[in-house]
């Protein structure tokens, strides 16, 4: 429904982004400007370094996952169905919207807004905001991105402690993505949520933070 490419491709680009942040090997290198980091990177071929350095990372765990393989195999048809057909069908069938209204609003506008909000994590959250955890890297804490991307604006934290499932030290602040994972944990569908220990976060803030909180 999100149509942000399949899980394998998404995770591959994302791992390369973390490993080689703000270099030519970063698929959406924010040093190439807001537009490139936001959407421009999808309009051009990948930089040679993205492909060459990306090849050195291991993605076998992703392909070992049957859900990843299933989604990748049926990706094109599921995108057509979930991102375009279903959102058009529901308002048309259930409360009598015209087909074009349903298509342009529930499908196209929803898709456009959700993409742009997600991309703000790569553009705005790599340029504007404070850096309480590591002032030497570009990713920042950005309140607006956080609200738009439902909990993904704690980007300085996320790049400093990328293994933390919550992408934030504030589980109870506005972070619906964390609430969703916690709910799945409660249902027993998620195990081994990793978080950075409080003491590690505090020490890191003192050592490399910019003094903000
Ligand atoms: Zn990330
Ligand atoms: Zn990032």
- Tens of pLDDT, residue by residue over 147-206, are 888 878 899 999 999 999 998 887 557 788 899 999 999 999 999 999 999 999 999 999
| 148 in the same domain as 209 | yes
Question: Dihedral through CA 116, CA 118, CA 124, CA 126, nearest 10?
Answer: -140
Distance CA 39, CA 64 (A): 30
Q: How far is the CA of 13 from the centre of ligand 1 (A)?
A: 10
Tokens describing residue 147: 């609200």
Residues of the domain holding 167: 128-213
| 139 in the same domain as 54 | no
Q: How far is the CA of 155 from the centre of ligand 1 (A)?
A: 8
- Tens of pLDDT, residue by residue over 51-84, are 999 999 999 999 999 999 999 999 999 999 999 9
Closest-lying ligand to the alpha carbon of 161?
1
| 166 in the same domain as 141 | yes
- State the DSSP string of 37-80: HHTGGGTSPPPHHHHHHHTTS--HHHHT-HHHHHHHHTHHHHHI
- Count of the separate structural domains present in the chain: 2
Q: How far is the CA of 54 from the centre of ligand 2 (A)?
A: 16
| 88 in the same domain as 138 | no
Q: How far is the CA of 166 from the centre of ligand 1 (A)?
A: 11
């Amino acid at each position: 429904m999100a149509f942000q490419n399949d899980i394998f491709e998404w995770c591959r680009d994302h791992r390369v982004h973390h490993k080689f942040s703000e270099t030519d090997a970063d698929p959406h290198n924010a040093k190439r400007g807001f537009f490139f980091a936001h959407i421009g990177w999808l309009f051009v071929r990948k930089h040679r370094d993205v492909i060459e350095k990306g090849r050195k990372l291991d993605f076998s765990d992703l392909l070992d996952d049957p859900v990843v393989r299933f989604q990748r195999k049926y990706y094109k048809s599921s995108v057509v169905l979930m991102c375009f057909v279903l959102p058009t069908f529901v308002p048309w069938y259930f409360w009598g919207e015209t087909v074009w209204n349903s298509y342009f609003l529930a499908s196209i506008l929803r898709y456009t807004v959700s993409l742009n909000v997600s991309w703000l994590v790569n553009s705005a959250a790599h340029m504007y905001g404070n850096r309480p955890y590591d002032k030497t890297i570009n990713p920042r804490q950005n309140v607006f991105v956080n609200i738009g991307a439902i909990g993904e604006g704690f980007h300085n934290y996320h790049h400093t402690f990328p293994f933390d499932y919550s992408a934030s030290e504030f589980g109870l602040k506005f972070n619906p993505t964390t609430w969703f994972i916690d709910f799945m944990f409660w249902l027993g569908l998620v195990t081994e949520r990793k978080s950075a220990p409080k003491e590690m976060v505090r020490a890191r803030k003192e050592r490399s933070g910019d003094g903000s909180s």
